[in-house]
Amino acid sequence: MNNIIIILIFTIIFLIIIVFAIKIIKNVSIQEALRIFVKFMVDEAKDLMKETSNVASYPVCIGWDGYRINPRIVEDAFSAMMKNFDVCCYSGSGYYDNGNLYCYKFKIMYKPESVDMSYFDKLIQKQAEEVLEKFLQQQMIILNTESMTFTDIRQDGWLIVYYAVNEEGIKRLDSYKQHKRMFQRKAVTTSHSEMKENWDKSDPP
Protein backbone atom coordinates (compact mmCIF):
# COMPACT_ATOMS: atom_id res chain seq x y z
CA MET A 1 0.00 0.00 0.00
CA ASN A 2 2.82 2.37 0.96
CA ASN A 3 4.56 1.66 -2.35
CA ILE A 4 1.42 2.63 -4.27
CA ILE A 5 1.13 5.90 -2.35
CA ILE A 6 4.79 6.71 -3.01
CA ILE A 7 4.42 5.98 -6.73
CA LEU A 8 1.28 8.14 -6.87
CA ILE A 9 3.06 11.04 -5.13
CA PHE A 10 6.02 10.83 -7.51
CA THR A 11 3.66 10.70 -10.50
CA ILE A 12 1.85 13.85 -9.35
CA ILE A 13 5.15 15.64 -8.76
CA PHE A 14 6.36 14.56 -12.21
CA LEU A 15 3.19 15.91 -13.86
CA ILE A 16 3.50 19.21 -11.98
CA ILE A 17 7.10 19.53 -13.17
CA ILE A 18 6.01 18.91 -16.78
CA VAL A 19 3.27 21.57 -16.56
CA PHE A 20 5.71 24.12 -15.10
CA ALA A 21 8.25 23.25 -17.80
CA ILE A 22 5.61 23.93 -20.48
CA LYS A 23 4.75 27.24 -18.73
CA ILE A 24 8.39 28.36 -18.82
CA ILE A 25 9.17 27.14 -22.35
CA LYS A 26 5.93 28.43 -23.90
CA ASN A 27 5.81 31.52 -21.65
CA VAL A 28 2.14 30.97 -20.84
CA SER A 29 -0.03 30.79 -17.74
CA ILE A 30 -0.39 27.68 -15.60
CA GLN A 31 -3.92 27.14 -16.95
CA GLU A 32 -2.71 27.36 -20.55
CA ALA A 33 0.23 25.05 -19.83
CA LEU A 34 -2.15 22.52 -18.28
CA ARG A 35 -4.42 22.76 -21.34
CA ILE A 36 -1.45 22.16 -23.68
CA PHE A 37 -0.37 19.13 -21.65
CA VAL A 38 -3.88 17.61 -21.58
CA LYS A 39 -4.27 18.18 -25.35
CA PHE A 40 -0.91 16.51 -25.95
CA MET A 41 -1.91 13.46 -23.89
CA VAL A 42 -5.27 13.19 -25.67
CA ASP A 43 -3.61 13.40 -29.10
CA GLU A 44 -1.08 10.74 -28.11
CA ALA A 45 -3.87 8.46 -26.93
CA LYS A 46 -5.68 8.89 -30.26
CA ASP A 47 -2.51 8.08 -32.21
CA LEU A 48 -1.96 5.00 -30.05
CA MET A 49 -5.50 3.83 -30.75
CA LYS A 50 -4.93 4.27 -34.49
CA GLU A 51 -1.69 2.28 -34.34
CA THR A 52 -3.35 -0.57 -32.44
CA SER A 53 -6.51 -0.61 -34.57
CA ASN A 54 -4.83 -3.13 -36.92
CA VAL A 55 -3.66 -5.45 -34.16
CA ALA A 56 -4.94 -8.96 -34.84
CA SER A 57 -8.61 -9.14 -34.04
CA TYR A 58 -8.70 -12.72 -35.30
CA PRO A 59 -6.02 -15.26 -34.35
CA VAL A 60 -4.97 -16.37 -37.83
CA CYS A 61 -1.22 -16.89 -37.33
CA ILE A 62 -1.19 -20.61 -38.06
CA GLY A 63 2.10 -22.16 -37.00
CA TRP A 64 2.87 -19.75 -34.15
CA ASP A 65 4.68 -21.69 -31.43
CA GLY A 66 4.93 -18.86 -28.91
CA TYR A 67 8.14 -17.46 -30.35
CA ARG A 68 7.88 -17.59 -34.12
CA ILE A 69 6.02 -19.14 -37.06
CA ASN A 70 7.28 -22.72 -37.06
CA PRO A 71 7.57 -24.05 -40.65
CA ARG A 72 6.93 -27.64 -39.51
CA ILE A 73 3.62 -26.67 -37.89
CA VAL A 74 2.63 -24.72 -41.01
CA GLU A 75 3.39 -27.65 -43.30
CA ASP A 76 1.45 -30.02 -41.05
CA ALA A 77 -1.56 -27.68 -41.04
CA PHE A 78 -1.52 -27.24 -44.84
CA SER A 79 -0.49 -30.82 -45.65
CA ALA A 80 -3.76 -31.80 -47.39
CA MET A 81 -3.62 -28.73 -49.60
CA MET A 82 0.05 -29.21 -50.40
CA LYS A 83 -0.54 -32.78 -51.60
CA ASN A 84 -2.49 -31.44 -54.60
CA PHE A 85 0.80 -30.28 -56.16
CA ASP A 86 3.74 -32.21 -57.52
CA VAL A 87 5.94 -29.83 -55.52
CA CYS A 88 4.73 -27.47 -52.81
CA CYS A 89 7.21 -25.88 -50.41
CA TYR A 90 6.36 -23.42 -47.66
CA SER A 91 8.41 -20.28 -48.31
CA GLY A 92 7.39 -17.84 -45.59
CA SER A 93 4.62 -15.80 -44.04
CA GLY A 94 3.92 -12.36 -42.67
CA TYR A 95 1.55 -9.44 -42.34
CA TYR A 96 0.36 -7.68 -45.46
CA ASP A 97 -1.71 -4.61 -46.35
CA ASN A 98 -0.82 -2.57 -43.24
CA GLY A 99 -1.48 -5.51 -40.95
CA ASN A 100 -5.00 -6.20 -42.20
CA LEU A 101 -4.00 -9.53 -43.74
CA TYR A 102 -1.68 -12.39 -42.88
CA CYS A 103 -0.37 -14.39 -45.82
CA TYR A 104 1.43 -17.68 -46.39
CA LYS A 105 3.61 -18.23 -49.48
CA PHE A 106 4.19 -21.60 -51.13
CA LYS A 107 6.40 -22.40 -54.11
CA ILE A 108 4.47 -24.81 -56.32
CA MET A 109 4.72 -27.08 -59.35
CA TYR A 110 1.66 -28.77 -60.83
CA LYS A 111 1.35 -32.51 -61.15
CA PRO A 112 2.06 -33.85 -64.67
CA GLU A 113 -1.57 -34.75 -65.37
CA SER A 114 -3.81 -32.09 -66.81
CA VAL A 115 -5.62 -29.89 -64.28
CA ASP A 116 -9.09 -28.40 -64.48
CA MET A 117 -8.07 -24.99 -63.14
CA SER A 118 -11.62 -23.94 -62.34
CA TYR A 119 -12.12 -26.96 -60.10
CA PHE A 120 -8.55 -26.85 -58.80
CA ASP A 121 -8.83 -23.20 -57.76
CA LYS A 122 -12.03 -23.90 -55.81
CA LEU A 123 -10.45 -26.95 -54.17
CA ILE A 124 -7.43 -24.99 -52.92
CA GLN A 125 -9.67 -22.19 -51.66
CA LYS A 126 -11.86 -24.67 -49.76
CA GLN A 127 -8.91 -26.47 -48.23
CA ALA A 128 -7.34 -23.19 -47.08
CA GLU A 129 -10.65 -22.32 -45.42
CA GLU A 130 -10.68 -25.70 -43.68
CA VAL A 131 -7.13 -25.15 -42.39
CA LEU A 132 -8.19 -21.90 -40.73
CA GLU A 133 -11.45 -23.40 -39.46
CA LYS A 134 -9.59 -26.26 -37.76
CA PHE A 135 -7.04 -23.85 -36.29
CA LEU A 136 -9.81 -21.66 -34.83
CA GLN A 137 -11.74 -24.65 -33.48
CA GLN A 138 -8.66 -25.67 -31.51
CA GLN A 139 -9.02 -22.31 -29.76
CA MET A 140 -12.77 -22.76 -29.28
CA ILE A 141 -13.50 -20.01 -31.83
CA ILE A 142 -16.15 -20.20 -34.53
CA LEU A 143 -15.93 -17.72 -37.40
CA ASN A 144 -16.93 -17.54 -41.06
CA THR A 145 -13.65 -18.71 -42.55
CA GLU A 146 -14.93 -18.35 -46.12
CA SER A 147 -15.03 -14.56 -45.83
CA MET A 148 -11.65 -14.55 -44.07
CA THR A 149 -9.77 -16.60 -46.70
CA PHE A 150 -8.47 -15.90 -50.19
CA THR A 151 -6.11 -18.03 -52.28
CA ASP A 152 -4.14 -16.81 -55.26
CA ILE A 153 -2.53 -19.41 -57.56
CA ARG A 154 -0.11 -17.42 -59.68
CA GLN A 155 1.28 -18.27 -63.07
CA ASP A 156 4.84 -17.65 -61.88
CA GLY A 157 4.69 -20.73 -59.64
CA TRP A 158 3.53 -19.26 -56.36
CA LEU A 159 0.50 -19.96 -54.19
CA ILE A 160 -0.45 -17.22 -51.74
CA VAL A 161 -2.95 -17.88 -48.97
CA TYR A 162 -4.38 -14.74 -47.40
CA TYR A 163 -6.24 -14.63 -44.08
CA ALA A 164 -8.09 -11.58 -42.78
CA VAL A 165 -6.75 -10.30 -39.47
CA ASN A 166 -9.64 -7.91 -38.86
CA GLU A 167 -12.81 -6.49 -40.41
CA GLU A 168 -10.80 -4.27 -42.72
CA GLY A 169 -8.99 -7.38 -43.92
CA ILE A 170 -12.31 -9.08 -44.72
CA LYS A 171 -13.29 -6.06 -46.84
CA ARG A 172 -9.94 -6.23 -48.61
CA LEU A 173 -10.36 -9.93 -49.39
CA ASP A 174 -13.87 -9.31 -50.67
CA SER A 175 -12.46 -6.81 -53.16
CA TYR A 176 -9.79 -9.37 -54.17
CA LYS A 177 -12.49 -11.97 -54.79
CA GLN A 178 -14.57 -9.56 -56.88
CA HIS A 179 -11.52 -8.68 -58.97
CA LYS A 180 -10.71 -12.38 -59.41
CA ARG A 181 -14.25 -13.19 -60.57
CA MET A 182 -14.13 -10.33 -63.07
CA PHE A 183 -10.79 -11.56 -64.40
CA GLN A 184 -12.07 -15.14 -64.72
CA ARG A 185 -15.20 -14.01 -66.56
CA LYS A 186 -13.05 -11.95 -68.90
CA ALA A 187 -10.73 -14.92 -69.49
CA VAL A 188 -13.69 -17.18 -70.33
CA THR A 189 -15.14 -14.57 -72.71
CA THR A 190 -11.76 -14.14 -74.41
CA SER A 191 -11.36 -17.91 -74.72
CA HIS A 192 -14.80 -18.27 -76.29
CA SER A 193 -14.06 -15.44 -78.71
CA GLU A 194 -10.78 -17.07 -79.76
CA MET A 195 -12.54 -20.42 -80.26
CA LYS A 196 -15.20 -18.78 -82.44
CA GLU A 197 -12.54 -16.91 -84.43
CA ASN A 198 -10.60 -20.12 -85.02
CA TRP A 199 -13.81 -21.91 -86.01
CA ASP A 200 -14.74 -19.14 -88.45
CA LYS A 201 -11.29 -19.33 -90.04
CA SER A 202 -11.34 -23.11 -90.36
CA ASP A 203 -12.37 -24.86 -93.56
CA PRO A 204 -16.01 -25.92 -93.73
CA PRO A 205 -16.67 -29.63 -93.15
Which of 52, 59, 80 is closest to 143 using CA atoms?
A: 59
Q: Look at residue 195 and tell me whether its pLDDT is greater than 50.
A: no
- Give tens-digit pLDDT for 19-57: 778 878 878 888 887 888 788 777 776 665 555 454 548
Q: Is residue 148 scored above 50 in pLDDT?
A: yes
The tens digit of pLDDT for each residue in 153-178 reads 988 899 999 999 999 999 999 999 99
pLDDT digits (tens, 9 = 90+) for 96-139: 999 999 999 999 998 766 567 778 889 999 999 999 999 999 99
CA separation for the pair 76, 193 (Å, rounded): 43
Predicted TM-score (pTM) of this structure:
0.65
DSSP 156: T
- Cα 178 → chain centroid: 17
Over residues 69-97, the pLDDT tens digits come to 999 999 999 999 999 999 999 999 999 99
Rounded CA-CA distance 174/23 in Å is: 52
Q: Whole-angstrom Cα distance, residue 105 to residue 132?
A: 15
**127/130 Cα distance (integer angstroms):** 5
| Nearest C-alpha neighbor of 126 from the set 174, 81, 60 | 81
The pLDDT assigned to 95 comes to 94
